[in-house]
Amino acid sequence: MRETTMWNGRLAIAAAALAAMCFGAGAAYADEHAAPAAEALVEAGAVFEGPGDAVDGADGQAPEAGDGSLPAEPLQQGWNYREGLWYWTESQGDRAATGWLFLDGRWYWLDPEAGGAMATGAFEAYGHRYAADASGVVIMDGWGLHEGTWYYADASGVLRTGWAYAGGSWYWFDRETGAMAHDTWLDAGGSRFYLASDGTMATGWAFVDGGWYLLSRSGELYSGWICIEGSWYWLDPEAGGLLATGLFDVDGFRYCAPQGGVVAVDGWCFFEGRWYYADGSGALERGWLNAGGDTYWLDPETGAMATGFIDQDGALYWFDETGALAKGSVVVDGALRFADETGAVRFDASGWQSVDGRKYYAGDDGVLVTGWFEDQGETYCFDEHGVMDTEWMLRDGVWYWLGADGAVKTGWQYIGGYWFYFDEETAAMAVGWREVDGAMYKFDAAGFMQTGWIAEGGSWYYCRGDGSMATGWQWIGGAWYWLDPETGAMATGWLHLDDGWYWLRDWGAMATGWINEGGSAYKLDAGGRWVENTGSVLGVSRTRLVEWLWSHENDWYYWGTPYSNGLSVDTCMYPNGSPRWDGFVGMNCTGFVAHAYAMAGGVGDLDAIGRTQSYSPWPTGPGRGGYVNAWRWYGYAVERGVEMYTFDSVASMLASGKADKGDIIFFKTNGSIDCHIGFFWGDTPYENRMWHQIYPQNCISACFNNANRSELYQQTVLIKGCW
């Protein structure tokens, strides 16, 4: 709270003034007309025995509060304790001193009317009020506490009375006793104030005896209406300014302040389990109320919101648990009845009824229909509240479409840009596969008709744009697919039909041309049928040649073998996968063809090829190299009369459709440019792929002569098998 100032002897007083005011050795007294003030009475240089000294049987105790008359027994010098009171004398045998005593920097009052007994508590001296603590020390310039009561003295020790400002707060001190007031109301100057438990004058909100009060900055108590930061409060004048909470009446109007005393304005207020509605001024509404799009009934007496049945003006109304007036349907005595647009229950309603855009149907007994109902050949459905369902309706886990008119729809329905189907008998929405007019359709779990590819149960199906499931051969997205005629499931792998075998890739597309299946080579014609007899390439089985090369298409047996220009069998026929005895690897273009040809079974023909001398650009023959010289392969093909085709360019060869996987391509030049040879490696006649040995290494690429990519002075010769 604050620190009590028990002793205050810090007074600056001139020595001359002190000498003039004092008399008698060692004692200090004020004359009977002077009260202690800033010029306090002091004996300069005097030595006193204080209350703490043992004097005349005082047993060393400090003076305590007491009263009595002048003691009869002789007094000792200093403090004397007699019959519960303290006295002071200057010299042994002197009478007890009276008046003011300044001793060891402290002031004491020795009451003349009590024979010089030391005063404690509040007392009067020379027309002023003072207070001393239990040891008799007069309170000076600050706070003092005596027997539970606080006092405040100025610098001269005079007690403050009335209003006093100390330590940043206002206090009230009794005008008679000087005691500080606390925990009490004070009426002063026509206003009311409250002094808190620490004595400070209260401002702002104050909680007193279980209630709230509001005081101004100057401490004056407010009463009546007050608005703080946009909120209204009622400080009841009849209750001494007590803040009103809950329900209260002012000038014939009722108000509601449910929390913190804030008055509800323009909205709902909840208090002690009941709802109320306040208008813009805060006054509670009564009777009928329209708010937030609903109608409510507020008790005419209390303003409390009604729930349940209310009989008003000869009509029965029902208000739900939120207080909103029910319209359309209500349950009365266990029966569902119609409530019109005013909310009044219509016991006489029959036939079609409507309110707020909802439709109902009342039987002849006035009870509303629920569930399925037929009227004039149409089927309708009403929910548990008697409201007619429209558009989508879920009933017992099944979806139905009722349309905007509420009549149940069947068959095909186009809804929101999608097709749905509803059973002609049950009207239930179709899901899964459904046969309609002899065709199969697929509907997802939400009933949407599906089109395009559909995966289900590990199989693929295809539904056309109209939703019907496709079967048999179908041209889809640029490829042929076979869909089982019975189930519609897409086929993959080998397929045997009456006109032959077909190969359908993993994604179902029918393959054409050459395929590598399980390490075996198969040729499929343009219609996808397997061609059993693929013929030969210069007398070697085409199938065996293709299978051999295919077995190494994805390894480094041939791929990456470096080019060798030695132009001899000993330097040009050693791929990575089959090096020479000393580890040497290298091939030229003809050496690669010769090696693969031999591995496919044509090794016996190599010597004959190597001896061919005709059909080269030079009169003396193709020169050295034996069967690793490409011109000898061309001459051998001409001499044998094999099937051959000559083209001006690679593009015209591909466009002809004559090329077949494994054919030998020979780039025939005029001799001034190197020729070139390799295998056609397209899966179809039109695929531009060639497997050949070029510089710097063996590869699969587009068809070209690495020495003459411009194709000037060059023809493209396609060498096939025997006629």
Query: What pLDDT, in 10s, does the model give residues 197-212?
Result: 999 999 999 999 999 9
The mean pLDDT of 94-113, rounded to a whole number, is 94
Identify the pLDDT of residue 603. 85
**24 has pLDDT over 90:** no
Give the pair of three-digit tokens for residue 130: 């003072």
Identify the pLDDT of residue 119. 95
Q: How far apart are CA 423 and CA 425, in angstroms?
A: 5
The mean pLDDT of 416-426, rounded to a whole number, is 96
Pick the closest to residue 334 from 296, 383, 368 (CA basis): 368
The mean pLDDT of 136-164, rounded to a whole number, is 93
Identify the pLDDT of residue 722. 62
Pick the closest to residue 132 from 158, 104, 97 (CA basis): 158
Percent of the chain clearing pLDDT 70 (strictly above): 90
Give the pair of three-digit tokens for residue 281: 């001024």
The mean pLDDT of 16-42, rounded to a whole number, is 28
Identify the pLDDT of residue 62. 36
Beta 664-669 vs 274-278: how paired, if at all?
unpaired
Give the pLDDT band of residue 710 (cuts 50, 70, 90): very high
Give the pLDDT band of residue 37 (cuts 50, 70, 90): very low
Question: What are the angstrom distances between the C-alpha of 8 and each of 99, 142, 387?
Answer: 18, 8, 91
Identify the pLDDT of residue 469. 98
Q: How far apart are CA 89 and CA 98, in angstroms?
A: 9
**382 has pLDDT over 90:** yes
Domains belonging to the chain, first-starting first, are: 78-182 (2.10.270.10), 224-291 (2.10.270.10), 452-504 (2.10.270.10), 561-720 (3.90.1720)
Q: How far apart are CA 693 and CA 674, in angstroms?
A: 14
Give the pLDDT band of residue 72 (cuts 50, 70, 90): low
CB count within 10 Å of CB 195 equals: 20
Pick the closest to residue 524 from 538, 534, 536 (CA basis): 534
**146 has pLDDT over 60:** yes
For the chain, give the mean pLDDT: 88
Identify the pLDDT of residue 259. 85
The mean pLDDT of 359-383, rounded to a whole number, is 95
Identify the pLDDT of residue 92. 86
Q: Bigger pLDDT: 17 or 710?
A: 710
Please report where in the chains the tokens 């003072």 appear, as a residue.
130
Q: What is the pLDDT of residues 443-500, one digit of tens each?
A: 999 999 999 999 999 999 999 999 999 999 999 999 999 999 999 999 999 999 999 9
The mean pLDDT of 263-289, rounded to a whole number, is 96
CA angle 503, 505, 511 (to 5 degrees): 50
Identify the pLDDT of residue 74. 78
Q: How far apart are CA 665 and CA 723, in angstroms?
A: 18
Q: What is the pLDDT of residues 493-527, one digit of tens each?
A: 999 999 999 999 999 999 999 999 988 999 999 99
Q: How far apart are CA 336 and CA 602, in angstroms?
A: 98
Q: Bigger pLDDT: 73 or 480?
A: 480
Backbone phi, psi, residue 118, to 5°: -65, 130
The mean pLDDT of 353-363, rounded to a whole number, is 95
Span of 43-57, 79-93, 402-416, 583-597 with lowest mean pLDDT: 43-57
Q: Which residues, other chains included, contact 649 with Cβ-Cβ below 8 Å and sequence gap of 6+?
A: 711, 716
**391 has pLDDT over 80:** yes
Identify the pLDDT of residue 627. 96
Render 577-642 in DSSP notation, one character per residue: TS--TTS--EE-HHHHHHHHHIIIIIGGGHHHHHT---SSSSTT-S-S-GGGSHHHHHHHHHHHT-
